[in-house]
Structure 1
Amino acid sequence: MEFDYNVEILCTYNLGPMAYPLDSAVKITYLTENAPNRDAFKVALKSKNPFKVLSEGYKAFNTLRLKKQSMIHAIKNIESER
């Protein structure tokens, strides 16, 4: 059974190739170019190097800020299309 709907998936991060193929009617929109750096931040904390901790903390803060802002912007655009 096929339906004639256009579907758009909003993804926060582009983490590489998809695990499975999608139908051509499905459009994927990536909201940010950044990727989460949780693992790098944990390594920096374990190294106890204050410069690495500050650097990775700053990257993490910017990534989370961009995630929130891009999601808000995308949701507002969806609501304005109705």
Structure 2
Amino acid sequence: MYVQNSPVVGADETSFNQGNVDGSNPKQSKAWLWVAVTPLVTFFEIALSRCSDAARNLLGDDFRGILNSDRYGAYIGLLFDF
């Protein structure tokens, strides 16, 4: 909740191959590590998707602060009412 109410947040996501318990990944499944950074808190989240729902889960439905990001499309719907 702290991150979602912060006036300034830096956010990004990166993919990685998600291995099984034994470390193998025959299906080449991916996961994404999402990060939200504020002046006082850094929050990491692993998600199986890179969609706008994952961004919404990270920042909340009502984020109204300043977002520093790479302008990936998943963030756009959170910042603008279309």
The answer to whether TM tops 0.5 is no
Query: Which structure features the higher share of strand residues?
Result: 2
TM-score scaled by length of structure 1: 0.28
Query: Which structure features the higher share of helix residues?
Result: 1
